[in-house]
Structures are given as structure tokens and as C-alpha cells.
Amino acid sequence: MRISGEKEQILLHLDSAKGLFRSTSPMKQDHGTELQLDYSPTELLYTDVNVVPEHESNELEKSILNLEGEIAELRLQEVCLDKKRREALNRILDIKGSIRVFCRVRPFLLTERRGIHEPVSVDSDKVVVRSVGSRKEFRFDRVFHQSADQDDVFLEVEPVLKSALDGHNGCILAYGQTGTGKTFTMDGLNDQPGIIPRALELLFRQASSASLTFSMSMLEVYMGSLKDLLSPKASARCNLNIQTDPKGMVEIEGLTEVQLPNIAKAKWWYSKGRRCRSTSWTNVNETSSRSHCLMRITISRHGESKQGSRPEASKLWMVDLGGSERLLKTGATGLTLDEGRAINLSLSALGDVVAALRRKRGHVPYRNSKLTQILKDSLGHSSKVLMLVNISPCEEDVGETICSLSFSSRARAIETDREISEDISKQREKRITELEHEMREAEEQCQKLRNQIRKAEFLIHEYRKPSYSDKEDISTAHEENRKESENPILQPTERGVKRNIISPLPRFMTSTAASRHRQSAAEREVVGKARSLRSEARSSAQLSCSQSLSYSDIRLKSVLRGDSNKKSRYADTKQNLSDSPKAKCGSSDSKVASMPRNKLVTSSDPNFRTTIANHRRRMSDLN
Ligand SMILES: Nc1ncnc2c1ncn2[C@@H]1O[C@H](COP(=O)(O)OP(=O)(O)OP(=O)(O)O)[C@@H](O)[C@H]1O
């Protein structure tokens, strides 16, 4: 290491094996690497603040081990609580029924005429339709009044989503006459998002606290054929085949499945799929959906769940069914008439399947339509199904409304056949409330545990971080070198001024309390050594000499050995330095004298940290 100043020039040679300053001739440089420093006798400083004493590093390792133990314990508790939460949710869904049918009444639109008597009146679980002297009553698991908003609906949908996250297949279907709000319920509007965008939000919210990943597929059942809505190639979109494996799991051959790394990407794919959907104008709805639009989210579970009994992946289908309408009323002819017929046929098949499942019949007629074949593994067994029947409040739609309500009654016939006494019904309600309370409590505790785990993980991360980011230091230093070599017309003083005024200390140079402590200790030690060196140098007959300096910094040793990854980075810097005009002037005394002020490493220099950075950069010369 060469130290040069206006008053004297000393060459210091770094010798990590010997722990002393030693005077040698500048010509006898056995390592060939030199660090050039300007100093005045009272200001010399050469130090590195990254020295981490061994005892401190042991303490850190101990703290990290403790934290890792704590995390493992918290994770165990979390698994137990999560199991409790899942069991409670499952019990709730069992009591409520794994196939639930809701009804939603659309509000009057601005273009619709309101009669004196409204034909449709609702209760929390009942819809009554009055029409020309007749009164029909239909029961549901839940009825949403015209004033119910998207929040109210989503609250009832959430258990199915959570159950899907727990590993059960799920299916949410919107059924109803054209123009009654199926698309509004599933998609919604920008300011009133429907079930699908909310479900995506919920899934990604939950995914951050569990090891889950999601993928999405979208398809359309149009006139009995399957169309891939996410396929990049239009030609590859049509006529996909449905396959069932020996375990009864359904797969659609060639259907595009996209990974969803985040919610933004999920929404992007979803709107892409929606844009490809077939719609056409009918007498009833300007953009009537002429097909069933199915969206499948595959939830894959990684890590600890593999040991459990739950499946590794679960499917969640969200389906906006085609409008069920009397073909005469829609004014359908030609292709639109065919589309309507196809929709009605598959809806009828769906009704049969749901009815068979609710009645727990041995034979379920899945094969009667493409729609039911696709949904086969997500409608029966342990799947959770939710059907939302949308109806219109208008007088002129009463016939259609009764058809839709009859369809849903058929789906939930078993419940109405077997009249439940009021006592049993109250007991069920009570049990559901208890379970919901249990589930919420477990959920809250799980959340607390997750927060604790996150904090512990953050601490470990912080402990493992070096007090200075070498990478940042080096790249910044590298960048400085580049700028300086690109701007040779700047005088050293100008550069110094520029750095002080225009660019305050970079963030990476601000020190921590520990590093300040280490720094001042190292400063004292080095200044002491420098003083003794200077006195030795003065007393020596040789005016110019080279000295060996012992250095205890492990990093420096590794740099000297050239055995770390840092070598290449330092080497880059070295290259840069040697290219820079400043580096080239190191050999000439006159050039040394004009060494920029910011290159000086001095204890009293107000730009001390800046010089430390430059010092590091120059360490590359040691390679
Ligand atoms: N609950 C609601 N609140 C406010 N507006 C609604 C509601 N339900 C439906 N609408 C409005 O009614 C119109 C028709 O709704 P939508 O297109 O969702 O019907 P649809 O059942 O999907 O029809 P199709 O089967 O023809 O696709 C839209 O303008 C929609 O914004």
C-alpha cells in the first residue's frame, strides 16, 4: 500500500501474515498491488468499518437459532389452529348443506315500467310471486332483496371460497333469465365488483399467509362445444375434449392454464377471457351472453399439506350461465334460436344433476350435457356448490321468474320434502352460530401467529444482513469511478465541492452505532500505527520506503487471497480504476500531488465516509 502526501511519501506494503508495519523499498513490492493514499501527518487514517468481531457474530448466530426455534413452534401452533378452523367451517357447510341455492332479485332498471302492484315480494329465505290471482311461494337458503349490494352477496359466498382454499372443490353458478343480473352478480361493474374479482382478491389475500399458488383457465360452452377463452391462438380454441381419469377427476384436453403470480395478473387474464366471450343482441338484453362462461381457479397447495389427507390441488369453478329464456320472447331466429335451445338443454341437464345430488341418488346424470361433464368433480362428493338464481322484479317477466324459481325449487327439493321442525331449525341455527364463533376465533389467532412469524423472519433477515451492503458499496463506487473517468475536465477541488454540495452522503455510507464504535477503535489503532510509522520513517535514512501492515479484517484477507466472489467485482473496479486518468497518474510524483482531495483518507476530513468509500474502491488494487 503506498501512502503519499505533500510532505512525505511512504509506501506501505500489505502483508497479512505479519502483524507489523515494516519498512521496505518501494521497488520491492512482492504482491504488486498498491493502495495509494494521500495524507497529512496529523490526518492519516486507513480503516474498514465492516469488521465484525467474532464474539458479536457468535451472539448473532445464537439469536438467529433462537428465532428459528420460535418460528418452528409458532408454525406448529398455526397448523393446529388452522385445522380447528377448517373443521368448524366444514361442519357449518355440512349443516347448511353442501349444495346451497340463493335467490337475488334485480332492482328495476331506469328503462323499466313499475306497476302499481309489484309481483315479487321477498323474505330472508322466501320469495312469493303473485300473478293474475295466483300466489306461488319458493324457499331458498338465502334471498337477496333488490336493495342488497355486492358486499351482502359476497359475504355468503366466502365460505365456499375458504373451503376451496382448504382443499375442497367448489362451484359457484349464476342462473337466471336473460337480463336479470347474472353477469352483474359474477363480474359486476368497476365501482361494484362482483363475486369473481372479489374472490380473486380474497384468494390472493389468503395466499400470502399459506403456501398456495393459483392458476386459471377460462372456457365457454357454446352450442355444445368447448371454446378456450385464454388460448393465444384463435385456431386452437375450439372443440376441446373432456377427459375423466380413473379417480373421477375431470380434465379438459388442451385447455390453456395460466399461472397467476399476483392479483394484477389474475385480473388481466380474467378480463382477457371475458372479452373473448360470445354475446349477441336479443330483444331482452343488448349484450346477452349466448353461452355458459366458466372460469376455473386451480389452487395448489405446497409444503406441509402434502402430509395431510387433503388433495394437493382443488378446483374452484365460477360460472356465468347463459340466459334461460323462452325463445319466443327473445325474438330469436336462426343462429340465436339455436344458441337459446343449446343453453336451455344444458341448463335442464344441470337442474337434473343438482336435483339428483341433493336427493343423494345413486345415479347422477352427468353425461347429459357438456356443462355437467365439465363440472362433474366439482358438483358432487365433498364439493361445495352455490347456485344463485337471479330473477327480475317486473310484471312482464313473471312467467320467466316462475320458471327460474321452479328450477331452483327442484334443486333444493329434498329440504322442502322433509319438513324440518322449528325446534330442529333453531338448534341448527344455534350450532352454526357457535361454530362461526369458533372459526372466527381460530382465524384471528392464526393471524396473530402469522404476524409473529413474519416479525421473527424479518429479524432473522436483518441479522443476516451485513451492516453495509458490499454490493451496493461496490456498485456505487464503481459508478463513481465511471463518472469521474468520463468527466476528466473536472478539477479535484471541483469534484470535492460537487460531492459535498450536490450529492450528500449516499445512504449506504451512513453508519450504525456498532459500526461507528468499530470505526473509531480501528481509527485509534491505525492512527497510532501511522504515527509510529512516521516517526520511524523520519528517523530512517531512507526517505522513501515501503511498509508492511498487518490487517485483521477477514474481508480484506479474502480480498488479498482473491478467493471470494468479491474478487471479480473488485477486479472490475480495478479495471475501471486503472482506466481512469487518475489511476494512471499514481506513478508520477507531480501527478500524486494533484491527487483529488476526495481521494484522501484522513481522520479529520469532513468527508471521511466518502473517503472510506474511495478507499474500498481502491482496495481493488490489492487484487
Ligand atoms: N343488482 C343489480 N343492481 C344494479 N343493476 C343491476 C343489477 N343486476 C343487474 N343489473 C343491471 O341489469 C342489466 C342486465 O344485467 P346482466 O347483463 O348482468 O344480465 P344477465 O343476466 O347477465 O344477462 P344475459 O343472460 O343476457 O347475459 C345490466 O345493465 C346490469 O347492470
pLDDT, tens digit, 9 for 90 and up, residues 173-228? 999 988 899 999 999 998 999 999 999 999 998 876 567 889 999 998 887 788 89
233 within some domain: no
> 106 vs 310, which has greater pLDDT?
106
pLDDT tens string 555-597: 333 333 434 343 333 333 333 333 333 333 333 333 433 343 3
- Same-domain check for residues 392 and 435: no
**433 is an annotated ligand-binding site residue:** no
Q: Which amino acid is at 182?
A: K
pLDDT tens string 391-423: 999 888 888 899 889 888 777 654 444 456 677
Q: How far, in Å, CA of 570 to CA of 575, rounded? A: 9
The CA 184 to ligand 1 mean position distance, Å, reads 5
The CA 179 to ligand 1 mean position distance, Å, reads 5
Residue 502 neighbours by CB under 8 Å, 6+ apart: none
244 within some domain: no
Quick one: 585 exposed, middle or buried, by C-beta within 10 A (0-12, 13-18, 19+)? middle
Q: How far, in Å, CA of 258 to CA of 255, rounded? A: 10
Residue nearest to atom 2 of ligand 1 (CA): 106
Residue 39 has pLDDT above 70, yes or no: no
151 within some domain: yes
- Same-domain check for residues 318 and 455: no
**176 is an annotated ligand-binding site residue:** yes
- Same-domain check for residues 138 and 85: no
- Residue-level pLDDT at 166: 84
- Same-domain check for residues 68 and 200: no
Last-in-domain residue among 418, 446, 478: 418
- Same-domain check for residues 492 and 559: yes
The CA 528 to ligand 1 mean position distance, Å, reads 84
Structurally, the chain folds into a number of domains equal to 3
The ligand 1 atom at the shortest distance from the C-alpha of residue 149 is 1
pLDDT tens string 450-462: 888 888 888 888 8
This prediction has a pTM of: 0.60
- Same-domain check for residues 266 and 388: yes
246 within some domain: no
Identify the domain containing residue 166 by its residue range.
106-224+256-418
- Same-domain check for residues 490 and 532: yes
Q: Where are the alpha helices (DSSP H) in 51-194?
A: 54-96, 150-165, 182-186
Residue list, ligand 1 pocket, CB within 6 Å: 106-107, 109, 176, 178-184, 285, 288-289, 323, 390
556 within some domain: yes
- Same-domain check for residues 77 and 33: no
- Same-domain check for residues 562 and 452: no
ipTM passes above 0.90: yes
- Same-domain check for residues 263 and 316: yes
194 within some domain: yes
71 within some domain: yes
The CA 396 to ligand 1 mean position distance, Å, reads 16
Distances (CA, A) of 260 to 295, 344, 403, 552: 13, 33, 39, 50
Residue to mutate, 184, 191, 277, ligand 1, most ligand atoms under 8 Å from C-beta: 184
Residue 170 β-bridge partners = 316, 384
- Same-domain check for residues 609 and 501: yes
199 within some domain: yes
- Same-domain check for residues 391 and 520: no
Residue 259 has pLDDT above 90, yes or no: yes
